[in-house]
């Protein structure tokens, strides 16, 4: 950790600052420039808050942590790729999985029908929303408990492991038979939920908040892993920018960056990012090429009559065609498909 002191820092204040830091168990080195003095700390600074020190010491102009604030999810700490296994499916480096299904579960017949179709097309996990976070209190909020039951029926019918969103920790008891918990973008910094999900050991798909930096995203994953659950799958799903032609801007650069910084698997959700069906195939192919470990794609039996997000869903034929394209490219990239 390095601190640059202000130009006019008085010598006695510098001495007091150094004494305080050394009193906390660190060794310091001072370097006195023509304009500024720099103080370097030596020792394990993980427990120090760099902003806090800058803010609470008037003579400090600037501070920089040399090591990243995330530890458990950091590749330097844990160089080997994490592989998350669920129901015989492996998610992580070297594999490519497609998670597919409708935005919302609408009926038992619907979700079983979609599950059978996407499985045949090549999907290896089934997604579907039972609890739906919606901007308006007047919009459809999902089938809730009943939606979960229908998802489990689809799992029994097809053998596909299921991925579905949990909106708050009081719902967790209902998710006992769910294979993968999803934390939605709006909940990425719902820390109490992250902690609870960290206390169970189920795999978690953690979606990037639509205005979260990559570092904040990794810090939220850190909350889960720090509580003891290492099975976190990061999901890039677009960030909020000034561009309005797409719903969000898919940040594909985040994929190689996350894989450099962390050992966790990274998947991409092109459907929510774009919000436009016609962009999903091109973005899916790009996600394979950029190095993602999988895709989460909305596919619906009847998008024209979907209860939510119909505009971004592929129909089942479109999904089958795309799945073939994805598989060809994943194999081209040397990934195992299932």
Residue with Cβ nearer a second copy (17 or 89)? 17
CB contact at 8 A, 102 and 298: yes
Q: How far is the CB of 38 from a second copy (least distance, A)?
A: 5
The two tokens of residue 68 are 């990243």
The two tokens of residue 106 are 């609408």
Residue with Cβ nearer a second copy (14 or 288)? 288
Determine the Cα–Cα distance for residues 252 and 68; give it in Å rounded to an integer.
22
Determine the Cα–Cα distance for residues 208 and 218; give it in Å rounded to an integer.
9
Residue with Cβ nearer a second copy (88 or 260)? 260
Q: How far is the CB of 172 from a second copy (least distance, A)?
A: 12
Q: How far is the CB of 174 from a second copy (least distance, A)?
A: 13
Residue with Cβ nearer a second copy (58 or 120)? 58
Q: For residue 128, what are the contacts with CB-CB under 8 A and spacing of at least 6?
A: 101, 102, 103, 104, 105, 111, 114, 147, 150, 151, 154, 162, 164
Q: For residue 70, what are the contacts with CB-CB under 8 A and spacing of at least 6?
A: 215, 218, 219, 221, 222, 261, 262
Q: How far is the CB of 161 from a second copy (least distance, A)?
A: 26
Residue with Cβ nearer a second copy (67 or 85)? 67
Q: How far is the CB of 159 from a second copy (least distance, A)?
A: 31
Q: What are phi and psi of 320, to 5 degrees?
A: -60, -45
Residue with Cβ nearer a second copy (85 or 140)? 140
Task: Compute the chain's Rg from CA coordinates.
Answer: 23
The two tokens of residue 216 are 């904040």
Q: How far is the CB of 236 from a second copy (least distance, A)?
A: 11
């Amino acid at each position: 950790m390095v601190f640059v002191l202000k130009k006019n820092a008085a010598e006695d204040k510098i001495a007091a600052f150094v004494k305080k830091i050394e009193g906390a168990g660190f060794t310091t080195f001072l370097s006195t420039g023509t304009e500024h003095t720099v103080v370097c700390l030596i020792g394990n600074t993980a427990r120090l808050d760099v902003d806090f020190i800058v803010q609470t010491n008037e003579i400090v102009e600037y501070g920089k942590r040399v090591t990243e604030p995330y530890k458990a999810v950091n590749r330097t700490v844990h160089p080997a790729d994490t592989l998350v296994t669920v129901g015989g499916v492996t998610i992580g480096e070297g594999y490519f999985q497609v998670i597919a299904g409708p935005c919302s579960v609408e009926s038992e017949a619907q979700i079983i029908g979609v599950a059978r179709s996407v499985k045949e097309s090549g999907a290896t996990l089934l997604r579907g929303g039972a609890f739906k976070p919606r901007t308006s209190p007047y919009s459809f909020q999902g089938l809730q408990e009943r939606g979960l039951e229908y998802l489990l029926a689809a799992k029994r019918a097809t053998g596909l492991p299921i991925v579905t969103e949990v909106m708050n920790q009081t719902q967790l008891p209902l998710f006992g038979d769910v294979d993968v918990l999803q934390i939605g973008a709006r909940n990425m910094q719902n820390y109490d939920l992250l902690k609870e999900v960290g206390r169970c050991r189920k795999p978690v798909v953690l979606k990037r908040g639509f205005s979260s930096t990559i570092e904040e995203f990794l810090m939220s994953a850190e909350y889960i892993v720090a509580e003891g659950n290492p099975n976190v799958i990061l999901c890039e799903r677009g960030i909020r920018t000034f561009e309005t032609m797409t719903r969000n801007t898919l940040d594909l650069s985040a994929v190689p960056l996350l894989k450099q910084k962390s050992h966790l698997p990274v998947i991409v959700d092109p459907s929510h990012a774009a919000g436009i069906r016609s962009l999903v195939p091109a973005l899916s192919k790009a996600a394979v090429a950029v190095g993602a470990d999988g895709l989460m794609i909305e596919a619906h039996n009847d998008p024209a009559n979907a209860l939510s997000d119909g505009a971004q869903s592929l129909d089942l034929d479109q999904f089958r065609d795309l799945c073939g394209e994805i598989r060809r490219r994943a194999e081209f990239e040397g990934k195992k498909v299932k």
